[in-house]
Amino acid sequence: MRRNLAGVPCSALKYANRKPQMTSQSTMQSASFRVPTHPDRTAKIVLLGEAAVGKSSLAARFVRNEFLPTQESTIGAAFLSHTVSTAAGSVKLEIWDTAGQERYRSLAPMYYRGAVAALVVYDITSAESLKRSQSWIQELRRNGCNALIALLGNKCDLAEKRVVPQQQGQEIAAEEGAMFYETSAKNGDNVETVFRAVAERIIAEDRAPAARPTGGEPPGARKGSGVKPGKKTQEKKSCPCAK
Ligand SMILES: Nc1nc2c(ncn2[C@@H]2O[C@H](COP(=O)(O)OP(=O)(O)OP(=O)(O)O)[C@@H](O)[C@H]2O)c(=O)[nH]1
Ligand SMILES: [Mg+2]
């Protein structure tokens, strides 16, 4: 199957559930670093995890510095991008925010394939979501995906409802050779830290290629749009890599 530059089959590029446009360079950049017009590298990263653990909320906090208490469940996947500047260079993170609902489960491989980093999210108030995050990590390994993995225990602001001790998440991450953070998309705890740490590792380990000369989003992608596979659409036909 022919794919666009983000590794997504063109047949998946039907957009639904349109949301407000996002800026590709957010206000979340560190004051000490200016976001460059032409980042040095481009890296595909993917957010995985059970439904409602806060994947979209983490992405929205990182890219737009906002939190929606009534964040809608993602349909298919959403795409966002944001450039992180570090002392060692800049990297444009092309973020695929997958849908956690079971009915979209079979789509996940096309989003994690080719990803240089996977943020696997669970909710610290749900033991089930931690189990699910372990299955995601195992699936990535089983499929030979050698992406950098970060295990994130989200909703750490809900201390009174916590059922997953921080140490448990930490131990699982250590066993899996993954980075580990507890985060809160709601109050922003550790959100920029996670993405920045991932960007720094991507640069340090030379995991991402130099940025495409023309820049911009993968063909067919729309910032902040839900991506829903389905029947043929005009957009599919016009995709430059469609058969
Ligand atoms: N208290 C709290 N609520 C959060 C946090 N992150 C997300 N939520 C809430 O949890 C709910 C689900 O968040 P989403 O971001 O839609 O979760 P998701 O993982 O993207 O869900 P799917 O798209 O269905 O896979 C929403 O009501 C959010 O407002 C957090 O850090 N703290
Ligand atoms: Mg979502």
Radius of gyration of the chain (CA): 17
Mean pLDDT per segment of 10 residues, for the chain of length 243 residues? 40 36 36 59 97 98 97 96 94 97 96 97 98 97 94 98 98 97 98 97 90 49 44 31 28
pTM: 0.79
Domains of the chain listed by start with CATH number: 42-210+220-225 (3.40.50.300)
pLDDT of residue 79: 97
**Which pair of tokens denotes residue 129?**
């979501």
Q: Is 162 exposed, middle or buried, given 0-12, 13-18 or 19+ CB atoms closer than 10 A?
A: middle
Q: From the CA of 97, how far away is ligand 2's center (Å)?
A: 7
Q: Tell whether ligand 1 has an atom less than 6 A from the beta carbon of residue 155.
A: yes
Residues 6+ apart with CB under 8 A from 164: 122, 124, 125, 126, 127, 130, 153
- Name the residue of 63, 71, 157 to mutate for ligand 1: max ligand atoms within 8 A of Cβ: 71
**Which pair of tokens denotes residue 86?**
């570090």
Q: Tell whether ligand 1 has an atom less than 6 A from the beta carbon of residue 57.
A: yes
- Name the residue of 19, 56, 57 to mutate for ligand 1: max ligand atoms within 8 A of Cβ: 57
pLDDT of residue 22: 37
Ligand having the closest approach to the CA of 107: 1
Q: From the CA of 55, how far away is ligand 1's center (Å)?
A: 6
Alpha carbon nearest to ligand 1 atom 32, residue: 155
Ligand having the closest approach to the CA of 53: 1
Q: What angle do CA 58, 115, 235 make, to 5 degrees?
A: 85
Q: From the CA of 176, how far away is ligand 2's center (Å)?
A: 24
Q: Is 204 exposed, middle or buried, given 0-12, 13-18 or 19+ CB atoms closer than 10 A?
A: exposed
pLDDT of residue 67: 98
**Which pair of tokens denotes residue 7?**
């590794």
Question: Cβ distance 48 to 101 under 8 Å?
Answer: no
Please tell me the distance from the alpha carbon of residue 204 to that of residue 91, in angstroms, as a whole number: 11
Question: Cβ distance 149 to 76 under 8 Å?
Answer: no
Question: Cβ distance 17 to 226 under 8 Å?
Answer: yes
Please tell me the distance from the alpha carbon of residue 128 to that of residue 233, in angstroms, as a whole number: 37
pLDDT of residue 212: 58
Q: Tell whether ligand 1 has an atom less than 6 A from the beta carbon of residue 75.
A: no
